[in-house]
């Protein structure tokens, strides 16, 4: 099966590559170096066993920001597995980075080993507002959270639009 990329190679990595808020209804794309790109909405995530989670945004320099967020979330790793990484050799996992990007261009980076071989990976989740929760406009339809980071703020991606597997070499 051929590798399908949702981002043209001519697009500079420094420019935001996400489709922005123009996608209706809100969708999350899991793509890049995968064989089966995913386009998910909140209902699709809910059907994948979303669980309620509390998440506290803690920034590196000034600590906690507000009250804990009450979200619904699914782990990121099974979504990546479902997208079928396009690995050709058994060691290709060493050549990939996972980039989570917001529709505003903010990015957070994870290594394959971090997501699939450390306790941190179990806490990296795609989140969306719990029914009746306030603040969705501020956070967007989807967020990426890393619950086991000491400082959760730097890899908290509001307005999550794209999770991309990037082949590094």
Average pLDDT over residues 124-153: 80
Domain ranges of the chain: 23-167
Q: Which two tokens stand for residue 99?
A: 């980039």
> What are the structure tokens assigned to 100, written together?
């989570």
pTM over 0.75: yes
CATH code for residues 23-167: 3.90.420.10
**Per mean pLDDT, which range of 52-61, 135-144, 148-157 is the poorest?**
135-144
Percentage above 90 pLDDT, the chain: 63
8 Å CB contact between 120 and 140: no
**Pick from 86, 70, 82, 84: which is nearest to 44 by CA?**
82
Mean pLDDT of 57-64: 75
Range in 20-34, 43-57, 138-152 the model is least confident about: 20-34
């Amino acid at each position: 099966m051929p590798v399908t990329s949702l981002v043209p190679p001519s697009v500079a990595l420094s420019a935001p590559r996400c489709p922005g808020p123009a996608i209706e209804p809100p969708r999350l794309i899991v793509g890049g170096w995968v064989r089966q790109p995913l386009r998910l909405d909140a209902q699709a995530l809910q059907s994948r066993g979303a669980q309620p989670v509390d998440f506290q945004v803690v920034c590196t320099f000034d600590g906690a920001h507000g009250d804990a967020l009450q979200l619904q979330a699914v782990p990121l790793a099974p979504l990546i597995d479902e997208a079928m990484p396009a690995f050709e050799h058994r060691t290709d996992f060493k050549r990939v980075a996972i980039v989570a990007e917001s529709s505003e261009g903010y990015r957070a980076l994870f290594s394959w080993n971090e997501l699939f071989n450390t306790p941190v990976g179990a806490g990296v989740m795609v989140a969306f507002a719990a029914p009746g929760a306030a603040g969705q406009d501020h956070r967007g339809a989807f967020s990426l959270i890393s619950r086991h980071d000491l400082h959760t703020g730097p890899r908290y991606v509001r307005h999550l639009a794209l999770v991309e597997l990037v082949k590094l070499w």
